[in-house]
Structure 1
């Protein structure tokens, strides 16, 4: 794919180049709005937009939406860990890309865009428009390639390049946990993982005080987001278990209510206590339903 995109960029004759994938849907005003944004902001060379998601059946999921940072320094700091430019929404200035020889590197299979943006953000300015200008089709295979060994390893290589700018290195275990694709967290290792990530974050802060690669506020945003994502991943795993248990005990139960009511217990009481409270509540609910149905049947007779 990288070779084809590079060829397309080389043959393009326009001032701006817009990217998208064949199965996504650009809104009618997308190109007009992005061109206007770049014309009004001549210091910006690459801009992305917000998206809404389409599932595999083509149904829009309005509650699922990116919340990427909008300004360059925050995008730049975030690119240490995440690809904060949604690739199919990109519009870029052709002359700037050629001036800095910013082309896709085919050695980074499944992470070509992440590698390009992580490299380019140190030479040119990025922005994300807040408007939704594209409907992004989400397939189960979207992230499959990234999670395979080659894709995950390439993702970590991009992160390592960012860390080299700070002149710091991390052990294999630290890099495994810093990478969102390979970080595994559960009840047994949660404390260990968070301690390691906190130590890595402090190492990044101290290096940045010397090298001044990132603005401090933007860096704190990126580090807090990375820590928050890890805690969310742990929380999401447990909530998935809660959801399954809730459905098993009572398939008619309002699972959304259960999740809202009991997921907050995780931070206070831990997994075992939360599940115990959940079980008691669901069994009580089931008993009430049983006696209600029994009484209703008796009244009808």
Structure 2
């Protein structure tokens, strides 16, 4: 049984695929299996995968595209490692990524899932998401603060919690999963830059932005329901402006946002879903347009 299983779905990423594969196969922790699932690629990715000669690579080929969720769930089913890591076929992992994350998980046995810090520019700043579970749980109300391709999970947690991606949340399946698990699993982020998250025009967030935004709305509405609230369109508009740190600078925008924040805090005081102090701090940062990273 390998120490780590890495799941890499692929669909038409021939331009970046070899770099992504190499960044896993050249890891300092070599006791791994790389499960590459080619989801009906038509751009030459399939040929690149066929040419990989490494006994640690398991190859799955879909004759037609089945979608990212089907590929991810298939990977979870196939994975045999003690830990299961995610990797995208257009990103680059730091060569010690798996070693650092596995050590973190070994030292923190209560943690079920951890992500990492990352950069979107080789020369740019490192982005560090919230580190601890209660912080992550709160910030998930506002944005997806666990970088999906950087994730590592315990295989035992996948079995215990029945972890699977939900196809009813297209292009935000990870955001849905972390929110769903935030009440039953322990989440964490490692405070180290272990991923180059490559920005490009073909990313889901660029090609399917409207669908992703609509799905994120459904996820946030579901989480807000735990506070006994169902947001109107106008109220959700305030929520989304808070989440995207784009409130206006005029007094009326500030007054409206402050009223909305106090409303959430009053409801949370009653329902006790989130840590009250962390929620108050997060809302304050959103109103002040001070992202955590």
TM-score if structure 2 supplies the norm length? 0.70
Contact 1:177–1:183 (CA under 8 A) maintained in structure 2: no
Shift of 1:184: 6.5
Contact 2:141 2:223 in 1 (8 A): yes
User: 1:161 is matched with which residue: 222, 232, 251?
Assistant: 222
Q: Which residue of 1 aligns with 2:209?
A: 147
Confirm or deny: 8 A CA contact 2:112 2:157 kept in the other structure. yes
Q: 1:202 is matched with which residue: 253, 262, 275?
A: 262
- Greater helix share, structure number: 1
Instruction: Give the match for residue 129 of structure 1.
Output: 190
Larger radius of gyration: 1
CA distance in 2, matches of 1:122, 1:222: 18
C-alpha distance in 2 between matches for 1:219 and 1:96 = 27
Spell out structure 1 runs of 4+ moving beyond 4 A.
Answer: 180-187
Q: State the aligned residue count.
A: 222
C-alpha deviation, 1:185, in angstroms: 5.1
1:38 maps to 2:86:
no
Q: 1:105·1:116 contact (CA, 8 Å) conserved in 2?
A: yes
Partner of 2:157: 96
Question: Displacement of 1:136 after TM fit?
Answer: 1.1
Alignment of 1:14-29 (within 5 A): 14-29=81-96
Q: CA deviation at 1:140?
A: 4.1
SS of equivalent residue, structure 2 residue 197: strand
Name which of structure 1's ranges 209-218 and 175-184 shifts more when overlaid on structure 2.
175-184
Deviation at 1:176, TM superposition (A): 2.0
Mapped contact 1:176–1:183 kept (Cα < 8 A): no
Contact 2:115 2:188 in 1 (8 A): yes
Which range moves more in the overlay, 7-16 or 99-108?
A: 99-108
Is the CA contact (8 Å cut-off) linking 1:110 and 1:145 kept in structure 2? no
Q: Please, which of 47, 52, 64 is the counterpart of residue 119 of structure 2?
A: 52
The one-character-per-residue Cα deviations of 1:143-171 (angstroms, maximum 9, x if unpaired) are 324531x2211111110111011111221
| Aligned equivalent of 1:117 | 178
CA distance in 2, matches of 1:204, 1:146: 30
Q: Find the aligned partners of 1:228 and 1:184 in 2 and give their Cα distance.
A: 9
Segments of 5+ residues of structure 1 without an aligned counterpart are 55-59, 233-301
Unaligned runs of 5+ in 2: 1-67
Distance 2:197 2:169 in 1: 22
CA distance in structure 1 between the aligned counterparts of 2:69 and 2:164, rounded to whole angstroms: 8
Aligned to 1:290: none
- TM-score, L = length of structure 1: 0.68
CA contact (8 A) 1:111 1:146 kept: no
Is 1:217–2:261 an aligned residue pair?
no
> Partners of 1:157 and 1:94 in 2: how far apart?
28
